[in-house]
Amino acid sequence: MQSLLETQRKAYLADGFPSAKTRIDRLDRVKDIHIRYKHKIVETLEADFGSRPRGQSLATDVASIIIEVKETRGKIRQWMKPERRKTPLMMRMTGGRAELQFQPL
């Protein structure tokens, strides 16, 4: 586990924050995996819980993820846009401005 975290940390430091295109690609892959392996996911949950209905697993553990991914995909660019913030008068007088840029930790 420690080696995996170290690999991820090095990749993050080398590549910086992922672009909207990269994030959308990752979301698409999450959606595709859930669609492609939905029956395996349901079978695994059924085996794990014992008597869990297939319909419940499809709705709560497959469809809900796909829906959330689609909604997130549609909003990701908007969420990544910098937001303007109030700038002190002295800074505005010299052409300064302030904005908040959201970045993952």
Residue 89 CB neighbour total at 10 angstroms: 8
Residue 2 lies in a domain: no
Residue 85 lies in a domain: no
Residue 65 lies in a domain: yes
Alpha-carbon gap, residue 55 to 101, rounded angstroms: 41
Mean pLDDT of the chain: 92
Residue 72 lies in a domain: yes
* pLDDT over 90, % of the chain: 67
Output the six-digit token pair for 12. Answer: 């993050």
Alpha-carbon gap, residue 22 to 73, rounded angstroms: 11
Query: What is the pLDDT, as a whole number, of residue 11?
Result: 85
Number of domains in the chain: 1
Residue 32 lies in a domain: yes
Residue 4 lies in a domain: no
Residue 45 lies in a domain: yes
Query: What is the pLDDT, as a whole number, of residue 76?
Result: 94
Question: What's the farthest any 2 CA atoms get from each other in the chain?
Answer: 68
Query: In terms of residue numbers, what domain contains 41?
Result: 16-79
Query: What is the pLDDT, as a whole number, of residue 83?
Result: 94
Residue 51 lies in a domain: yes
Alpha-carbon gap, residue 53 to 79, rounded angstroms: 36
